[in-house]
Chain A
C-alpha cells in the first residue's frame, strides 16, 4: 500500500532502533553481573540443577518470580537455620507438621546443594529487594521503650520462625502464650541447649551472655 509506506517504515525502523538499544543494554548488563553476586562454585551450580530437577519454581518464587503458591526463597538462608532447612527439604512435615510441602524425595546431598545455592541467591545484589517490612521492623512500637529481652528477641531474628500475637514465622511453635506452659528453668536451659530439652529440635542455641538470656527468659514469662 503506497500511501502507508511512511508509517510502515517508521514501524520497522523504529522497532529495530529500540531493539538495538536492548542489545547494547544486554551486553552491558551481562558484563556487570559477576560483580553483583558471589562466585558460582560447583556446589552452587549443583544446587541450581537440583532446583530445576524438582521444579521448585512450580510453587515457590525466587527474586519474586515463580508461582506465588509458597514462600519466596530469595532470603530464606538469612532467616532459617541451616539444620532446619536441611531437614525440611528432605521431609517437610518431620520438622513442621503443618507444612503444605510434600515429601519430594530430595536426597541429603541434594538438600545440602540446594542450601548452598540458596545462600548464593541471598547474597545477590537485588537492589534491596525484598524491602524490610515497615511495621514489624519498627522499634518501640506505640512509643514504649522495648525491654532488653524484647530487643534480644528482635535482634536474634527469633520472629523469623516463631510468632507472637500474629507477627512472626509459622515454622516453629507459637510463643504468644508460652509463659503459661513453660517455667523459668526450662526456658533458660532450652535457650542454651535446645536439643537437651526438645529432642530433635532444629533450633540453634541462642548466642548471648547468661545475663541477656535471663532477660529473654523474663520476656517469655510475660507472654501469657
Chain B
C-alpha cells in the first residue's frame, strides 16, 4: 500500500510529489498524458531537449515546468496512466485506485489520494462548434507545445481571457499569422476590475506585469482585432469556411476562415472529484462547480485531497502552492509530522494562495464568464457525442428533475466522452429553463469506469 497516490503531473501534482517525498511518504504519481507538466507545462522536458529554440516564444514561465519536474524526479511516476476508478475508503486498506496503462489495468491501495487533475476549457456551444476546423484555444496551444504545429491559412481566435491573450502573444512571437481576434470580453473590463488591482498587484505582482506585456502585444498580434464581439457562429459544408459575428456597435460581419479557436475561460475538470462523490458547490463568479475544500485541500470524501485548478481556478502558481500544502497535510494525517510542522511549512504557501485569490478576483472581474450559455440557440448542439440540441433539453426540462434524469430522456451525456463536453452546458440550460439556480440543478453523477475501458482490461484485474 502506498502512503499517497497523486493523480495528475501538472504544477499541483509535481509540487505535491516533491514535498511528499521530502517528508518520507511512499508516493506514486499517475498521469494520463504522455509526459509530465500538465497542460501549462505540457511536453516541457522534450521541448527543452529537442527544440530549445521554441522556448523563445513559449516563454520563461513555460520553462519553469522543467524545474518542477526535476524536483519531483525521485518520485515513482507513470505517464500514460489513465485512472478510471477510486474505491471507497476502508479502515485498513485505504482506497483502491485503478488505472489503465498500455492497455492493461492495474491497481494500488493508497492511504491518501490527491486529485491534481486540473482544469478543462469551458465548452463553448456556439452554432457550428462541431465543424472540423473549430477547436479550443487551448487545443492550438497544446499542439504547439507538443509538436510545434500550427494551423495554416486564416486563423481566427475568439473569446475572452488570459489564455487567449497568451496564445496570441506566442503566435506573434513565433511569427504565426492570425487573421482576426474576436474578443468577447464585455466592454469596461479594466473599470470593473480596478477595485482589485491594488491587492492583485501586491499578491501577484509578476502576473500583473505579465498581463500588461500581453495586453501590449494583443492589439497587434492579429490583422484585425475586434472587441466587444457577440453572436459568433461557425459555418461551412463539412468543415469550417466562414465565421460570422456581431461587433460592439451591433453591425454583423462575416470573415472567411480556415481555423476558429474558441476560449471562454477554464473550469475545474469535474470527473474524479465527482467520482468519489466529493461535495461540490456552484461558484457564481466563475460560473462553474468546484469541490468544497478546507484551507489545506481536504475534500468531503475521506482521504481525498484536491490541489490546483481542479479545486477552483486559481492558476499555475497557486497550484504549486496548494500541492505543497496538501502534501504536508497528508503527512500530518498519516502521523509523519506534527501539526506545528505542517503549519510552519504551509504558512508561506497559504500567503501565496491569498495573493493569487486577489489576482483571481481581478481577472474574474476583467473577464467575466459567459452569461449566455443557458440561453444558447435552440438548434445548437449541447452534447456533441449524441448530437443533442438545446431544444431537445428544453422540451423535457419541466419533466426532468435534473441532469441525471435528462440523460435517460435525451441521451445527453451518454456518449464516449461520458458527459465531459455537455455536463456544464446541460446544467446552465436546465437552470435557465427551470428558472432555478445552477447549484440547485446539480450535475451528472460520475460513475466508474471514469474513462472507457475494455472488458479484457477489467478482466485482467481479477486474474
A and B physically associate: no
